[in-house]
């Protein structure tokens, strides 16, 4: 799953459980249409995707590894909260 920093979904790729994360991540990056999101410059991934540097650099992206998953989890919660507040505000 690729999201922007606000939590909006950009792309999803689901692969079988017997496929290593590295290969699933490669397919996810290869299918990412960066012309739709010209401001995307950096990709944060957990350490299971450590073999993706070449693919990311080939797309002109900087790859940064997340060593503390709780930080990523907190960021996802913030993104979800932002979306919920935005929807509630527009419904009012």
On whether the CB atoms of residues 40 and 20 are closer than 8 A, the answer is no
pLDDT for residue 69 is more than 80: no
Residues 6+ apart with CB under 8 A from 29: 43, 52, 55, 56, 59, 61
pLDDT for residue 82 is more than 80: yes
Give the pLDDT band (50/70/90) at residue 88: very high
The model's pTM: 0.58
Average of per-residue pLDDT values in the chain:
82
User: Domain segments of the chain: what residues?
Assistant: 2-91
Q: Compute the average pLDDT of residues 63-85.
A: 80
pLDDT for position 91? 82
Give the pLDDT band (50/70/90) at residue 85: very high
CA distance 16 to 44: 22
Q: Which candidate, 12, 10, 7, places its Cα nearest to that of 85?
A: 7
* Digit-coded pLDDT (tens) for 16-45: 888 887 788 888 888 788 888 888 888 888
């Amino acid at each position: 799953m690729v999201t922007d920093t606000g939590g909006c979904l950009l792309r999803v790729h689901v692969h079988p459980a017997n496929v290593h994360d590295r290969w699933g991540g490669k397919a996810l990056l290869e299918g990412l249409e960066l012309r739709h999101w010209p401001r995307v410059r950096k990709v944060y991934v957990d350490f299971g995707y450590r073999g993706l540097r070449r693919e990311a650099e080939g797309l002109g992206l900087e790859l940064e590894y997340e060593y503390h998953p709780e930080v990523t989890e907190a960021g996802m919660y913030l993104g979800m909260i932002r979306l919920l507040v935005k929807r509630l505000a527009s419904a009012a």
